[in-house]
Amino acid sequence: MVAPVSPGLDARLRLDRAGFELAVEVDVPAGSTLALLGPNGAGKSTVVEVLAGLVALDEGHIRLGSTPLDDPARDVFVPAPQRRMGVVFQQYLLFEHLDVRDNVAFGPACRGRSRRAARNQVEQWLEGFELQALADRRPSALSGGQAQRVALARALAAEPDMVLLDEPLAAVDIEARAGLRRLLARHLGEFTGPRLLITHDPVDALLLADQVLVIEHGRPTQRGSPEEIRRHPATRYVAALAGTNLLTGTNDRGHVRIDEPAITLITADTTISGPVVVTIEPAAVALHATRPEGSPRNTWATTVAAIEPLGDINRIVLDQPVPLLADITPAATTALELAAGVPVWVSVKATEVDVRSR
């Protein structure tokens, strides 16, 4: 079966509210996930509201394929019920008076499905999200992770043309996050329309998004692949937010075999085994002119690929064998005589190699 070609999102958002101005372009091709990254108050939730049709634009346009959804200049406004935007809200917003099954069935019932077709479809969604055992529960009897699975199933069961995920993992406890992220990756991968993921967690952006758009104070500051954003942050905020070194690998009693490149890092954390996300803060990466002595367990020689000045610190981009970012002071940069192509020794303490299940 050939899936129908889904249209992409083309949005130019302009909104003026008391003390807040949103001016951002959001383009998401079909079958692609854009992560919208930004601090609190950046206007991320406002983007969800205007795309979902809960708030009207002042200027600009929202088009899904060739269908205009909002265009003040041409007096077009498609209200929320007719937009087919599948929204997953941060606080789930499940209907407490309905059980899990009826929450998932809410969308199909609104779309005027026959009762029988709707019921079969709902059972399939419950199965896909491993919710059959919870089908008769009320939302208040669910854990955060379970509730978010229901919210996702409910949004997708309404057969949306696009999905909007507002901080889908933020309210979920750490233990449930990795499993939910895997589930999210799988279902987002199967969804043929455009996907917009709102997050403040660079790990989510790396593992779930094809492109990242950073907004601050209602305006875009950078757009690129997660890798580009991390390696060449345009602002200090992006550097702090997305600048964490992220690697994926497998932990075996403190020895993390990195997937790419094939090296092994030592971590102090021996409690987590199996597939992990490794994070190393750039400030925790030490650089030396000669081979370091003493306790650091992770040490290797490399060369400087580039230097990104970020105000009071320099971000040193390192290449082979491990792509890493290191933040050091301009004084240290001068002392080590660093420049592109200069050989340097890297060391990272085992306690600074942070691992989390993925």
Partner 1 sequence: MTSPPRRVTGRAPVPLVVFGGLGALLFIVPLVGLLGRTPWSELTELLSSDTVLDALRISLVSSVAAAALSVVFGVPLAWLLSRGSFPGRGLLRAIVTLPMVLPPVVGGAALLFALGRRGLVGEPLYDATGLVLPFSIWGVILANTFVAMPFLVISVEAALDGIDRRYEQAASTLGASRSHVFRHVTIPMIGPALRAGAILAWARALGEFGATVTFAGNLQGRTQSLPLAVFVTLESDRDAAVAISLVLVVLALMVLLVLRDRWWSRP
Comparing CB distances to partner 1, the nearer of 81 and 341 is 81
Q: Binding residue for partner 1 (CB under 8 A) from 79, 274, 309, 330?
A: 79
Q: What is the CA radius of gyration of the chain?
A: 23
Q: d(Cα 47, Cα 213) in Å, to the nearest integer?
A: 12
Q: Binding residue for partner 1 (CB under 8 A) from 87, 134, 316, 326?
A: 87
| 194 counts as binding partner 1 under rule CB under 8 A | no
Q: Which residues inside 44-63 make contact with partner 1, applying CB under 8 A?
A: 52-54
Comparing CB distances to partner 1, the nearer of 52 and 213 is 52
| 74 counts as binding partner 1 under rule CB under 8 A | no
In three-state secondary structure terms, 105 is helix
Instruction: Tell me how far the alpha carbon of residue 207 is from its chain's centroid.
Output: 7
Contacts of 133 (CB under 8 A, 6+ apart): none
| 106 counts as binding partner 1 under rule CB under 8 A | yes
| 155 counts as binding partner 1 under rule CB under 8 A | yes
Q: Give the shortest CB-160-to-partner 1 separation in angstroms.
A: 8
With CB under 8 A as the contact rule, which of the stretches 25-33, 89-97, 169-177, 224-232 interacts with partner 1? 89-97
The widest CA-to-CA distance across the chain, in whole angstroms, is 74
| 154 counts as binding partner 1 under rule CB under 8 A | yes
Q: From 95, 203, 204, 325, select the one nearest 195 (Cα to Cα).
A: 204
Q: Give the shortest CB-123-to-partner 1 separation in angstroms.
A: 18
Residue in this structure with the two tokens 């240290």, named with its chain if needed: 332
Residue 355 · residue 178 · CB < 8 Å: no
Dihedral sign (CA 82, 72, 192, 135): negative
Q: Binding residue for partner 1 (CB under 8 A) from 83, 149, 315, 349?
A: 83
Long-range residue pairs from 183-187, CB within 8 A, at least 24 positions apart, any chain: 183/129, 183/149, 183/152, 184/152, 184/208, 187/128, 187/129, 187/152, 187/156
Residue 152 φ/ψ, nearest 5 degrees: -70, -45
Contacts of 316 (CB under 8 A, 6+ apart): 287, 304, 306, 307, 308, 325, 326, 327, 328, 333, 338
| 97 counts as binding partner 1 under rule CB under 8 A | yes
With CB under 8 A as the contact rule, which of the stretches 17-25, 94-102, 195-203, 315-323 interacts with partner 1? 94-102
Q: Binding residue for partner 1 (CB under 8 A) from 86, 145, 243, 249?
A: 86
Residue in this structure with the two tokens 């809200």, named with its chain if needed: 89
* Strand partners for 316: 307, 326
Instruction: Lay out the site mask for partner 1 across 108-147 (x = CB under 8 A, - = otherwise).
Output: --xx------------------------------------
DSSP letters along 218-283, please? Answer: TEEEEEE-HHHHHHS-SSHHHHHHH-SEEEEEEEETTEEEESSS--EEE-S--S--EEEEEEE-GG
Residue 227 · residue 260 · CB < 8 Å: no
| 107 counts as binding partner 1 under rule CB under 8 A | yes
| 255 counts as binding partner 1 under rule CB under 8 A | no
| 328 counts as binding partner 1 under rule CB under 8 A | no
Q: Give the shortest CB-46-to-partner 1 separation in angstroms.
A: 13
Q: Give the shortest CB-309-to-partner 1 separation in angstroms.
A: 43
| 195 counts as binding partner 1 under rule CB under 8 A | no
Q: Give the shortest CB-77-to-partner 1 separation in angstroms.
A: 14
Residue 120 · residue 128 · CB < 8 Å: no
With CB under 8 A as the contact rule, which of the stretches 31-39, 78-86, 235-243, 258-266 interacts with partner 1? 78-86
| 77 counts as binding partner 1 under rule CB under 8 A | no
| 84 counts as binding partner 1 under rule CB under 8 A | yes
Q: Give the shortest CB-80-to-partner 1 separation in angstroms.
A: 4
What is the contact surface with partner 1 in residues (CB under 8 A)? 52-54, 79-87, 89, 91, 93, 95-98, 106-107, 110-111, 154-155, 158
